[in-house]
Amino acid sequence: MSRLADGVWRLIVVFMAASSLGSVMTSRQAAADEPADSALVKLLKSGRVPEARLGAIVEMLGKRGSPADLGYLYERTLDPKGFAPAIRLRAMAALVEAAANRGLRPARDLEKLEDLIPSGNGGKSTGDSVGREAIRLAGLWKLESAVDRLAALAGKPETDDATRAVVLESLVGLGGRGKIADLARSPDVAVSLPATAALAALDVTAAATRAAEILPAAAAGRREVDPLIAAFLDRQGGADVLAQAIAKRPPPADAAKLALRAVYAHGRSDPALASTLGKAAGVAADVKPPSPDELVAWVAEVVKKGDPRRGEAVFRRADLNCVNCHSLAKAGGEVGPDLSAIGMSSPVDYIIRSILLPDESIKEQFHTLVVLTGDGQVYQGIVADKDDQRIVLKEANGQTRSVPVASIEDQKEGGSLMPKGLANLMTRGEFLDLVRFLSELGKPGPYAIGTTPTFQRYRVLKPTAGDADSPDVRARVLEAKPERWESVYARVDGSLPLDEIKIPRGQTVYLQGELEVSAAGAVELVLDSAQGMALWSDDEPVALIGTTAALALSPGRREITFAIDTGKRAARSLRVAIKKPAGSTAEFTVVGGR
């Protein structure tokens, strides 16, 4: 960094210390009294701030800046050439931060924001990241002139699901009950399902009636019902209202089972809703604690009949949500405890009771907080972060939710995010297998903690329309947006089952593993089979010599991309070990998590 750039950054630090930026502008009145150009804005206007520091300053303005500061960010964001694309997106996120957590808006003409909202008519992409942030701001800023445009965008079949969800969230913020109710009546389940979920925040009774009507169609169309069910669970009294509507119009067993799984996946087991859905699904919803004699019999049966290999498959089942909450070998959810060595520390009877009665033994750091907001929303999760402006909760699905402190009406300690009744979604044999698998984790043998690092969490590229029309791997894969990727997890032994990836046999699967490199040097990737394989380190192709690929890695987070031609690969799994050759100076960790 040049002496000038270094001096600029020191000036920022001096400004922060001198003005006690963390304590000023904590109210709207204080923010309104700020001069038009604060010291940080002057620095941005000077053009002397190094590119690497721009993002940090932009985020600082979102967290602590005045309406005048936000106005400057807004003007720069409206100008396509005002910021580089990555900084422009961070500026939009900063404006969202200020509006959501502090209730502040730029002191400017807000209706110009509509120029950034996608129309879905062949102009701006409906999946554009800046466009989505503009949609969020329209709701947070109460931009009523955008209501019709947002409602039209939500109703278009070509609007992607992620964008539609953001649009509906903004319509809720704008109080667009009528528009949302119209969308909930759409014959297109892709539109009516999320619209009904959104309606629950404005009219829970009408939403519950519509939810009971469309659950069968949603199940038949293999649509995801988790967001719909979550909308009622997150509404004060919503679970009971939905239970009443479903009791009047019971869905088919398969639809009821999907909804019940969604209740459990949300970390909840609300009695009325679980009982109503369980009755329709033919599944018992109550959990009877085992007697001491029954527990002894369970333990003996686990040891005699439980199969850990089958149990691992049960653990990985999507409907049970285990991998979204718990990590193995540092990969998976981080909502509940890491289970990599639970078999070494916990006897079988403890594991059984922990599954059946999760509220009995909650470790201190995994107690939940339940918050009720002034508008009747109820959120539950583990506190991941908090300050004087917001509380960040990690929910059962692994997602985080930021709740502004000013919006909280009440809060209390909750129970475990692992719901009671989860065992009812398993057969007795499956339960025995799962417990046996957990009881073997960490012990010497096939479920011991590995000594050679392997990729345990991959991201798989989701196929979209037009993929086949673009042979350019760089544009289509290596530069694909983050939302195009979703996480998949290897087994404990490091092997990733390719059959679990929902891509037809014969097509190419694209996977990414990540390494966090702290010291540069050489590493080797050792594959179980090179058949049908090609790979890249960041955006550079890498040659395979036999089953080994040699990499020279620089510090930072490095992406290793794998292309697997499933039509040419006989093996139905992939295992990649990462080794450090003799004399290598490389230091790295395999990126896990969710």
What are the residue ranges spanned by the domains of the chain?
3-102, 292-361+420-440, 368-414, 457-590
pLDDT of residue 417: 78
From the number of C-beta atoms within 10 Å of its C-beta (0-12, 13-18, 19+), residue 544 rates as: middle
Q: Which residue, 154, 151, 321, 142, is CA-closest to 230?
A: 321
pLDDT of residue 550: 96
Instruction: Assign 549 to helix, strand or coil.
Output: strand
What does residue 511 show for φ and ψ, rounded to 5 degrees? -125, 155
Range 113-126 burial, b when 16+ CB lie within 10 A, else e: beebbbebeeebeb
For residue 297, give every residue at least 6 positions away whose Cβ sits within 8 Å of its Cβ, in sequence order, or none.
none
Domain boundaries 368-414, CATH class:
mainly beta
Q: Cβ(134)–Cβ(117) under 8 Å?
A: yes
Give the architecture-level CATH label for domain 457-590.
Sandwich (2.60)
Is the pTM higher than 0.85? The answer reads no
Q: For residue 36, what are its two tokens?
A: 């038009």
Residue 550 corresponds to which amino acid?
A
pLDDT of residue 546: 94
Q: For residue 76, what are its two tokens?
A: 């720069």
pLDDT of residue 480: 82
pLDDT of residue 464: 57
Q: Which residue, 435, 192, 151, 410, is CA-closest to 297?
A: 435
Q: Cβ(239)–Cβ(233) under 8 Å?
A: yes
**Mean pLDDT per segment of 10 residues, for the chain of length 594 residues?**
43 43 40 62 84 86 90 90 88 92 88 86 56 93 93 92 92 93 94 96 96 92 89 94 96 91 82 91 78 93 96 89 86 87 94 87 80 90 88 85 90 82 85 96 93 94 57 76 88 93 81 96 96 93 95 95 91 94 95 90
pLDDT of residue 285: 64
pLDDT of residue 18: 39
Give the architecture-level CATH label for domain 292-361+420-440.
Orthogonal Bundle (1.10)
